[in-house]
A = this chain, B = another copy of it.
């Protein structure tokens, strides 16, 4: 699938089939994340792949939506800020780095015929407790992963170019 087609046809999927995700597809998606660029190549990311129904259910307490837990896989994308690049003025880039890796995985999933949904509105404390994530590690985002059980998710409007695009200066 072409890059632009993947980008433009991808939707957030909030209904998943119970069909399992094959290991080959899953590992290709993880590889897409692993290959992401990052500030000074620090790669401050950790990916946790959750498929165990008991753990998934517990993880669901951090984001209590049935469709989230119903996906066969949940990918939890974490950052290790202690291993990430920081700009001279103190600006941190671990959120950016992990977001790049996650979007690589999300687009690769689309190519593999799999749905995803960026989740940000979770209770980070619960995620860390359930998955045994060390205190210094941050959870940046999660996504369910599985075969979509809807033709396409809700199409959200995007702002027109006039509102977001500037030529030469603001």
Contacts and interface: CB of A to CB of B under 8 A. Distances in A.
Contacts of A102: 100
Interface residues of A, number: 75
A132 interface: yes
Contacts of A1: 2-3
Interface stretch (A14-22, A64-72, A107-115): A107-115
Copies of this chain present: 2
A55 to B, nearest CB: 6
A169 B48 contact: yes
A85 B120 contact: yes
Contact of A3 (B110, B130, B170): B110
Interface string A20-34: 000000001011101
B96 A165 contact: no
A110 B37 CA distance: 14
B50 A168 contact: yes
